[in-house]
Every structure is written in structure tokens, then in C-alpha cells.
A and B are shown apart, each in its own frame.
Chain A
Amino acid sequence: MMQAPDIGKVILEHTADSRVIELPFGLGEWHLPHGWMIGGTDFAPTKHVVFMLLAAVLVLLTVWYGGRQVAKRHATGKGPRGFGAAVEAMVLFVRDDVAIANIGHGGEKFAPLILTLFFFILYCNLLGLLPWGAAPTGNLAVTGALALLSFFVIEISGFRTLGPKGYLKTIVMVPPGMTGAGAVIMAFIMTPVELIGKVVKPFALALRLFANMTAGHFVILALVGLIFVFANWFIAGGTVLFVLFMMCLELLVAFLQAYIFALLTSVFIGLMQHEH
């Protein structure tokens, strides 16, 4: 009689970062190096770093190959087909309906960033759904870094567009039309609120992406763990069907969360660009 495994430990092992990558099809394990110290911090690659590099390579291959197909078909005056068509559809959707629609008339400059964010996060999420895969976006440090990047882009682009005085007006915000003592009081109240808002919005971006990915993996792993805990054929059959449904939902969530991250970043950039 097999012992019921410790499901909590298995779940944490699968979703957290580690220095060992399990190779597929039983090829063994790849022990990652450690101890690449630079100034007291260990910069050696971990599992999530390797998967992020894999996602970056996949983004490069997808967009490059899709772009070449589209360019070749455009040279003969016809529309693209197949893989190139899919890539072109997604790129045009993100560029037109997400970046330019939300940022306004300066949107083309930010379109490459928004496209990169969307495709990179999408591939990171999808890699977590493959067998023997791990989602780098299930790591708060990774999503935090992406949100930090968004924060810098939003604030620095806002500063450059509005100038120092205009940028200060977005912090010490006075509702339009108030003068005198009312304006001073409102400035006192609204300044901390605006400052906290500037920090909380990217933090919410990071937390939303991290929590969505981690929660999905937790649910799937917990349901599969039920099979081991109960060791019963009927429960196993029902659980497999339910896990299949959850995986489809996870696929939807992967696309949706990448879209939401890109959309909210462009909305925040647009808000800063159009303060005046």
C-alpha cells in the first residue's frame, strides 16, 4: 500500500524556482551551476532563468520567421497564409488595438515595447503549461522585474513629455477649477494618494500576473495530487476530466494575462502622456 505523498511539498517543488531542471522523457536531471558571485550576489542561472531565455529565443524565432513569411508574401502582392498570418494578426492586434488605441498619437514609439511585453509574457506563461515545463512568470521576482520596467517607462516617458513642471503637476494634483485655500487642502490630501497610486499600479500588475499563473498551477497540481491521495479509479477518471477543463482555462488565462499586462501598461503610459 503506497503512502499518500506530501502534496504540498510536490506543489511547491513544481512551482518554485530551483537549481535542477528535470529533462523530459526521463533523460535525467540538469544540475545548474551555482556560485557565479558578483559583488556578494549569486548570478548563476536557475530554472526560471533558463526558461526565460528559452521564451526569449522562441519570441525571436516566432516574430522573425513570421515576419519573413509576411514580407515574402507582400512582395508578391498577396496576403500571408498559415503561421505568418497568425503572427501578423496578433502583432497588428497588439499594435493597433492595444498600443496605439490607448497611448494616442505618440503610440508608434511605444508599440515595440508593448509587443515585446505581450509576446514574452505569453511565451513564459505557455511554457508553464507544457509537461516538464515551468512558468517563469510564476515567480514574483520575474513579474516584479517586468512591472519595474513598466514603471520606469511610464514615469520617464511622462517626465519627458510633460517636462518637470507638468510632471510635478501629476503628483501635487489639484482638481481643476479649485483655487485658494481649497486648492491647498486638496493638494495636501491628493499628493500622498497620487504618490501611492504611482507605486501601487505597477505592483498590482506584478501581483496580478504572478498570482494568476501560480494559482492556476496550484489548482492543477492539487487536483492531480487527489488521484494519488485517493488511489481510486473512479476518482482518477473524474479528476482527469476536470484537470483537462482546468488546462483549457489555463490556456485562456495565459493569453488573457499577457494581454492585460500589455493593455494596462499602455493605458498607464497613455494617461501620463495626456495629462495636459
Chain B
Amino acid sequence: MHNLLMLLQESVAVAKNTNALLGAGIGLGLAIIGAGIGIGRIGGQAVEAIARQPEASADIRGAMILTAALIEGATLAALVFALLFKILN
């Protein structure tokens, strides 16, 4: 009986650790999906805008890179927290 309790406690501890890593992995994947959609839309609409008005291409390129970097910032915040899960384990 005592052995069974010990085994259960150990498995709960292991389960908690696995759950944390699983959560971090799934969260990271979702964050990457969000970033992919966002930056894909930025790229697509920037290219469309350049096609409509080639003289403005320098301005549009600058705005595109700036906005993509801002979205990357949010994604990398998710990465940092996922790493936190892994390291705190």
C-alpha cells in the first residue's frame, strides 16, 4: 500500500512535469501559427500595395519591415515564456 502511494506520487510528479512541457510546446506552436498568419498578411498586402503604386515601394518596404518586427516581438515573448517553462522544470 505504501509502495503504491509512493508510485502514485512519483507518477503525479512526472505527470506535472510532462504537462508543463506539453503546455509549453502547444503554446509555442499556437504562437507561431499566429505570427505566420500575421506576417503572411503583411507581406501579401505590402506586395499588393507595391504593385498598385511602384513609386511608394521604399515607404511600403519600410512599413512592412517595421510591422513584421513588431509581430515578431510578440511571438518571441511567447518563446521566452515557453523557455521559462522548460528551465523551471
Chain A positions within 8 Å of B, measured between CB atoms, are 204, 207-208, 210-212, 214-215, 256-257, 260, 263
**Complex CA–CA separation, A204 to B72 (angstroms):** 11
| Given A211-B80, A215-B79: A263 touches B66 (CB 8 Å cut-off) | yes
In the complex, which of the residues B65, B66, B76 contacts A212, with contact meaning CB atoms closer than 8 Å? B76
Per the bound structure, the CA–CA distance linking A257 and B65 in Å amounts to 11
Beta-carbon contacts under 8 Å, B53-84 to A: 65-66, 69-70, 72-73, 76-77, 79-80
Asked if residues A215 and B76 are in contact (CB atoms below 8 Å), the reply is yes
The secondary structure that dominates the B interface is helix
A211 neighbours in B (Cβ, 8 Å):
73, 76-77, 79-80
Chain B interface residues toward A at CB < 8 A: 65-66, 69-70, 72-73, 76-77, 79-80
Chain B nearest CB: distance from A17 CB in Å? 15
| A-B contacts, 22 listed (Cβ < 8 Å) | A204-B77, A207-B73, A207-B80, A208-B69, A208-B72, A208-B73, A208-B77, A211-B73, A211-B76, A211-B77, A212-B72, A212-B73, A212-B76, A215-B76, A215-B79, A256-B65, A256-B69, A257-B69, A260-B66, A260-B69, A260-B70, A263-B66
Neighbouring B residues of A214 by C-beta, 8 Å:
80
Residues from chain A with a CB closer than 8 A to the CB of B66 are 260, 263
A214 and B72 CA atoms in complex are apart in Å by: 13
Q: Kindly provide the distance from the CB of B56 to the nearest chain A CB, expressed in whole angstroms.
A: 16
- Could you say which of B66, B76, B80 has the most chain A C-beta atoms within 10 Å of its C-beta? B76
How far, in whole Å, are A207 and B76 apart by their CA atoms in the complex? 8
Closest to A257 in B: B69
C-alpha gap A214/B66 in the complex (Å): 20
Tell me, in angstroms, the Cα distance from A208 to B71 when the chains sit together. 10
For residue B69, which residue of chain A has the nearest CB? A260
A210 to B72, alpha carbons, bound, how many Å? 12
Distance to closest chain A CB from B64 (angstroms): 12
Give every chain B residue within 8 A of A260 (Cβ-Cβ): 66, 69-70, 73
Residues of A within 8 A of B79 (CB): 211, 215
| A residues in contact with B70, CB < 8 Å | 260
Minimum C-beta distance from B81 to chain A (A): 10
With A207-B77, A211-B73, A260-B70 given, name 15 new contacts (CB 8 A).
A204-B73, A204-B77, A208-B69, A208-B72, A208-B73, A208-B77, A210-B80, A211-B79, A211-B80, A212-B72, A215-B76, A215-B79, A256-B65, A260-B66, A263-B66
